[in-house]
Amino acid sequence: MASPLSPGEPCSRSNFRYSELIPNSNTESCHTRHKLRAVYHTLEDLLAATKRFPDENCAREVESRIRYHAKPRGSLGRLEALAIQLAGVQRSTKPAVKPRLVQMFCSDHGVSSEKVSIFAPETTISVAKAALAGCAGINAFAKTVGCDVEVIDVGMRRGNIDLRGVNNLAVREGTANIIYGPAMTREEAKLSIVSGANAHRSAVARGYKATIIGEVGNSNTTAASALLSSLTGFAAEDVVGRGTGAEGVMLERKVSVVKQALRVNSPMIDDPIDCLAKVGGFELGAMAGAAISAANCGVPCIVDGFISTISALLALRLAPDIWPSLVFSHRSDEKGHKMVLDLLEVEPLLALSLRLGEGTGGLACLPLLDLACSLIHGISTFDEAGIDSPYKESSI
């Protein structure tokens, strides 16, 4: 199907017509669209729906075909494994990642008042405005790789500022300052996850076959570092990095702030919701919800950088079975990113020293997903090409 928007065009709330979610008897996706009309009302609803596993038959069929491609076995390296993964996730021997959408979840943080970023707290809304106007980093990348952009407010401090085109799912305007107490209530933490899941579910109902989770939030590397520490027990000084460019005294302050937040709030390492509520952020919860929804809907969730990866870790703590639907796009320069990737035992597709966020790293890896999909049937088998196979076992 054609993409609902021009590549890179911001997706506005006015684009969300519920009529698009109503089944159309003339389309093959009628039954799927009908099921996707429902929303998750609670976190329990979301987690109860997490029963969709990769289709092993589709994955095996694609693996078998690739095995007998008329080329040296394994010569396309990780692209072959990626093709098999996408086939299993989408439950299809012809996986596709078009049309695709990057969802940029935006939220503000109370800890920004502690001067842990070189940018002012108002930066969050400024970047959101730029993305809505089509002139942020995310738009430049999205236009290049043919991806749509959706800007989602899950907790920006915007008062009376009218952000035309934003999808407003705000839990409230910003988290509390984590050095004095919890970032949010437990119920708000759950709501942030459910909001992200419903935003993702709506996107799939509109026809998107792959999504990227991205974010914007001033000082959110501080919150993400605190959340990583609380979920793993890693020491603050080992996971806190430069973020947008903190150095010297500011970086030392950032480490101190994370230590104080952990000391004041005492998040429970075996309770992911408690960790999110105590030291996290609304966009961190929302991206976790989107990742869980992706597994439920059978579409790949492309994880961006450090902050998105912490959300993926949170999602995995809540729903371990979603693992096969996650595609880790890149390894950033952020200190804690290597630690969490090593903890998860994953090697991302790219390592380009990126640390912008927004979903730009996920966008950078989309051409690799396109190649993975194309190689399955774009390359002939030995039999199809009329070439004698050098391999002993019979071909398919």
Residues 65 and 152 in one domain: no
312-322 mean pLDDT? 97
321 falls within a domain? yes
Interval 264-270 mean pLDDT: 98
CATH label of the domain that carries residue 70 = 1.10.1610.10
- 379 and 337 in a single domain? The answer is no
Does any domain span residue 15? no
Which tokens belong to 210? Answer: 């792959």
- In whole angstroms, give the CA distance from residue 318 to residue 54: 18
Higher pLDDT, 7 or 269: 269
Could you report the per-residue pLDDT of 68-117, keeping only the tens digit for each?
999 999 999 999 999 999 999 999 999 999 999 999 999 999 999 888 88
Same domain, 71 and 59: yes
- Active-site residue flag, 334: no
Whether 162 and 80 map to the same domain: the answer is no
The whole-angstrom separation of Cα 379 and Cα 65 is 9
At residue 36 the predicted structure's pLDDT band, cuts being 50, 70 and 90, is low
Secondary structure of 212-255 in the HEC alphabet?
A: EEEEECCCHHHHHHHHHHHHHCCCHHHHCCCCCCCCHHHHHHHH
Work out how many domains the chain is built from and give that number.
2
pLDDT for the residue 254? 87
**257 assigned to some structural domain:** yes
Q: What angle do CA 128, 132, 135 make, to 5 degrees?
A: 90
The dihedrals phi and psi of 49, each to the nearest 5 degrees, come to -85, -5
Given a contact cutoff of 8 angstroms between Cβ atoms, the answer to whether 183 and 167 are in contact is no
Cis peptide before 54 (omega within 30 of 0): no
Cα(205)–Cα(17) distance, rounded to whole angstroms?
Answer: 11
Q: Tell me, yes or no, whether 321 and 177 share the same domain.
A: yes
Q: What is the mean pLDDT of residues 137-153?
A: 98
Whether 152 shows a pLDDT value over 70: the answer reads yes
Based on the domain organization, do 371 and 360 belong to the same domain? no
Looking at the domain assignment, is residue 32 inside a domain? no
Q: Where are the alpha helices (DSSP H) in the chain?
A: 30-36, 43-48, 56-67, 77-90, 123-133, 137-145, 186-205, 220-232, 236-239, 248-265, 272-279, 282-297, 306-318, 335-344, 360-364, 366-378, 382-385
Give the side-chain half-sphere CA count within 13 A for 179.
16
Going by pLDDT thresholds of 50, 70 and 90, the confidence category of residue 7 is very low
> In this structure, is residue 10 part of a structural domain?
no
* Number of residues that make up the chain: 396
| 127 pLDDT above the threshold of 70 | yes
- CA dist 149 → 143, 203, 214, 258 (Å): 9, 11, 10, 32
337 and 254 in a common domain:
yes
Q: Which of 150, 215, 334, 358 is catalytic?
A: 358
Please give the full DSSP string across 129-152, using - where no structure is assigned: HHHHHT-SHHHHHHHHHT-EEEEE
| 196 located within any domain | yes
pLDDT recorded at residue 245: 61
Residue 320 CB contacts under 8 Å (≥ 6 apart), including other chains = none
Nearest to 244 by CA among 127, 365, 139, 344: 127
Tell me the per-residue pLDDT of 178-232, one tens digit each, with 9 for 90 and over.
999 999 999 999 999 999 999 999 999 999 999 999 999 999 999 999 999 999 9
Angle subtended at Cα 66 by Cα 65 and Cα 67, rounded to the nearest 5 degrees: 90
The pLDDT value given to residue 30: 38
Task: Give the pLDDT band of residue 121 (cuts 50, 70, 90).
Answer: confident
Evaluate whether residue 228 is within a structural domain: yes
Q: What predicted TM-score, i.e. pTM, was given to this entire model?
A: 0.89
For 348-378, what is each residue's pLDDT tens digit? 999 999 989 999 999 999 999 999 999 999 9
- Same domain? For 360 and 371 the reply is no
Q: What range does the domain containing 80 cover? A: 55-90+367-396
Q: Within this chain, do residues 241 and 389 fall inside the same structural domain, yes or no?
A: no
- In the numeric block, which tokens belong to residue 202? 């709506």
Which tens digits make up the pLDDT trace of 238-262? 998 666 666 667 788 889 999 999 9
pLDDT of the residue at 3: 38
Q: How would residue 393 be classed by pLDDT, with cut points 50, 70 and 90?
A: low
**Block residue for tokens 């998750």:** 40
Answer yes or no: do 268 and 189 share one domain: yes
The pLDDT of residue 117 is: 82
Q: What is the pLDDT of residue 243?
A: 63
Q: At 144, is the pLDDT very low, low, confident or very high (cuts 50, 70, 90)?
A: very high
Which amino acid appears at position 259 of this protein?
K
Backbone angles phi, psi at 42, to 5 degrees: -140, 165
In this prediction, residue 396 carries a pLDDT of: 52
Distance CA 309, CA 284 (A): 9
Instruction: Identify whether 352 is part of a domain.
Output: yes
Please check whether residues 178 and 209 belong to one and the same domain: yes
Instruction: Tell which wins on pLDDT, 86 or 30.
Output: 86
Tokens of 349: 């597709």
Q: What is the CATH number of the domain that holds 150?
A: 3.40.50.10210
Note whether 286 and 371 are same-domain residues.
no
Instruction: Using pLDDT thresholds of 50, 70 and 90, give the confidence band for residue 53.
Output: confident
Beta bridge partners of 151: 104
pLDDT tens for 333-344 read 888 999 999 999
* Predicted confidence band of residue 118 (pLDDT cuts 50, 70, 90): confident
Residue 345 has a pLDDT of 96
Cα–Cα distance for residue pair 311/344, rounded to 1 Å: 12
Residue given tokens 């912490």 in the structure block = 310
Q: What's the confidence (pLDDT) of residue 2? A: 36
